[in-house]
Amino acid sequence: MDHFQYKNGILHAEDVPLPDIAAAVGTPFYCYSTATLTRHFRLFEEALSGMNHLVCFAIKSLSNQAILRTLGDLGAGMDVVSGGEYRRALAAGIPGERIVFSGVGKTRDEMGFALAHGIRQFNVESAEELRVLSGVATTLGAVAPITLRVNPDVDAKTHEKIATGRKEDKFGVPISQAREIYRLAASLPGIEVVGVDVHIGSQLTDLAPFEAAFTKIADLTRLLRADGHSIRRLDLGGGLGIPYTRSNETPPLPMEYGAMIQRVLGDLDVEIEIEPGRLISGNAGILVASVLYLKKGEGRDFLILDGAMNDLIRPAMYGAYHDIVPVVEATAAVEQSPVDIVGPVCESGDTFAKGRDMPPLVPGDLVVFRSAGAYGAVMASEYNTRPLIPEVLVKNDQYAVIRARPSFDEIINRDTLPKWLR
């Protein structure tokens, strides 16, 4: 459920009519709902309420400061995967003890910065990284709390590009080597083992792969404890999927996910951490664009928008489906006809949907891409020198621009000429 609903035939973000924002900000833009973000975060809180837990928002899915502050104020921790994301979390006021640092390729600088400013734990992905982290920590006179991310060799049954828990994927240490690498961890002076981490992929629409992975982690936890390690925390990653279409998708609810976690891991007496991104941010955001042209092609019509693949890459990159709806509600009586919905970028990949039934639209009409809050703005680029589009946050009847559209001068002046061209 989200808070982008039609009221009197006009799509609203909470209590704000979207045409009002479009008139003030210009299109295209991203728009987020505070109520939806809050609701989704709280669903996880409730789902895990029977257990000692921390919900760490995966800020790679949506990393604007206003979003992080909103979630941080609710008590969220943050999962970061780069020094930049770590700094974003700190800047939003998240204390280091609520920040977990994931990722296969952390640099010494990133490790040192996080150790100096406070960290809940590093989710370490290899023996090599462990040694480097231990070295960085001892140089600073610190000890780095770690989990090892274990690759359980479970197929998440999701899109190929976002499955991360099979043995051929680059992530984690093979579960068969885990005990040996924990032994190494225990021997390193700059390392303190605190738990185990697993993340098998994103947009999972079935609990079975999660359960298979968590069962393996439970078994491993018992073995590691028998080996003498203090495993007090399990980080279960993110990955719970969302419905991208209104009708035919029914991914498991956070409550069901939480009940399964309780059932599989509840008797281990551990603190549970999860790292959801998409489920919190996905349906809390939309992309609003304007119709530029309706072009009659041969055998097909093209709806050309001012938003493009550089603003929302998911359809081009993963063949992802997003609902696209007019801001002025189409009544049931209006006849819909199939159009290819495309952007202005100069490649055919800049196609959001093919043969999508849409009501008749004219230039200037507004359309909305639903479920665009996660992996939307954060994956945008300036391809074709199209400025990164603004982000707007709504709360009840108020809205605020939380990232402004840059000017062309700002974009162009980032380039510098070498002296031989001046």
Can you say which residues are annotated as belonging to the binding site for pyridoxal 5'-phosphate? 239, 275-278, 375
Q: To the nearest whole angstrom, how small is the minimum distance from the Cβ of residue 77 to ligand LLP?
A: 12
Please count the residues of this chain forming the interface with ligand LLP, following the rule CB under 6 A.
20
Give the residue, chosen from 217, 375, 395, 402, that forms a contact with ligand LLP under the rule CB under 6 A: 375
Q: Which of 346, 362, 412, 421 is catalytic?
A: 346
Cα–Cα dist 92/72, whole Å: 8
12 or 314: CB nearest ligand LLP: 314
What residues numbered 314-373 form the site for ligand LLP, per CB under 6 A? 314, 318
The CA distance from 291 to 342, in Å, is: 10
Distance between CA 241 and CA 320 in Å, rounded?
Answer: 13
HEC profile of 324-388: EEECECCCCCCCCEEEEEECCCCCCCCEEEEEEEECCCCCCCEEEECCCCCCCHHHCCCHHHCCC
Angle at 15 between CA 9 and CA 19, to 5 degrees: 55
Residue ranges of the annotated binding site are 239, 275-278, 314, 318, 347, 375
Between CA 74 and CA 275 the distance in angstroms is 15
Token output for 207? 């609990």
Of 195 and 326, the one with the shorter C-beta distance to ligand LLP is: 195
Residue whose CB is less far from ligand LLP, 14 or 235: 235
Q: Contact at 8 Å (CB) between 297 and 80?
A: no
Stretch that binds ligand LLP, among 66-74, 128-136, 219-227, 269-277 (CB under 6 A): 269-277
From CA 283, how far away is CA 261, in angstroms rounded?
24
Six-digit token string for 404: 């402004």
The H or E element containing residue 403 is: strand 398-403
Six token digits for residue 132:
């480097």
Question: Which residue from 102, 126, 283, 371 is in contact with ligand LLP, where contact means CB under 6 A?
Answer: 102
Contact with ligand LLP (CB under 6 A) among 77, 237, 285, 390 = 237
252 touches ligand LLP (CB under 6 A): no
Helices (H) and strands (E) in the chain, counts: 12, 21
Give me the count of residues in the chain. 422
Cis peptide before 315 (omega within 30 of 0): no
Does position 199 interact with ligand LLP (CB under 6 A)? The reply is: yes
Question: If you ran DSSP here, which 8-state letter would residue 419 be given?
Answer: G
Under rule CB under 6 A, residue 101 binds ligand LLP: no
What contacts 128, CB < 8 A, 6 or more positions away? none
Stretch that binds ligand LLP, among 263-271, 272-280, 291-299, 333-341 (CB under 6 A): 272-280
Select the residue interacting with ligand LLP from 125, 275, 311, 350 (CB under 6 A): 275
Smallest gap from Cβ 196 to ligand LLP, in A, equals 13
How far is it, in rounded angstroms, from Cα 384 to Cα 343? 12
Element (H, E) at 222: helix 207-226
* Beta carbon of residue 238, minimum distance to ligand LLP (angstroms, whole number): 3
Kindly provide the residue ranges of all beta strands, DSSP E only, lying in 113-183, ordered along the sequence: 121-124, 144-151, 173-174
Instruction: Provide the minimum distance between the beta carbon of 244 and ligand LLP in the complex, in angstroms, as a whole number.
Output: 10
- Is position 276 an interface residue for ligand LLP (rule: CB under 6 A)? yes
Binding-site string for ligand LLP from residue 64 to residue 83, where x marks contact by CB under 6 A and - marks none: ---------------x----
Nearer to ligand LLP, 317 or 330 (CB): 317
Rounded to whole angstroms, the Cα distance separating 422 from 339 reads 48
Name the minimum Å distance from CB 33 to ligand LLP. 18
Of 239 and 343, nearer to ligand LLP (C-beta) is 239
Could you list the residues known to form a binding site for substrate, using ranges. Answer: 278, 314, 318, 347, 375
- Please provide residue 310's backbone torsions phi and psi, each rounded to the nearest 5 degrees: -70, -25
Two tokens at 27? Answer: 């299109």
Residue with tokens 């992975």: 213
Q: Whose Cβ is closer to ligand LLP: residue 276's or residue 390's?
A: 276
Minimum gap (Å) between residue 159 Cβ and ligand LLP: 7
By CB under 6 A, name the one of 72, 238, 258, 285 that touches ligand LLP: 238
Return the number of the residue (14 or 273) whose C-beta is nearest ligand LLP. 273
Catalytic residue check, 31? no
| Options 27-35, 114-122, 210-218, 274-282: segment touching ligand LLP (CB under 6 A) | 274-282
Catalytic annotation, residues: 346
- Contacts to ligand LLP by CB under 6 A: 58, 61, 79, 102, 162, 199, 202-203, 237-239, 275-279, 314, 318, 374-375
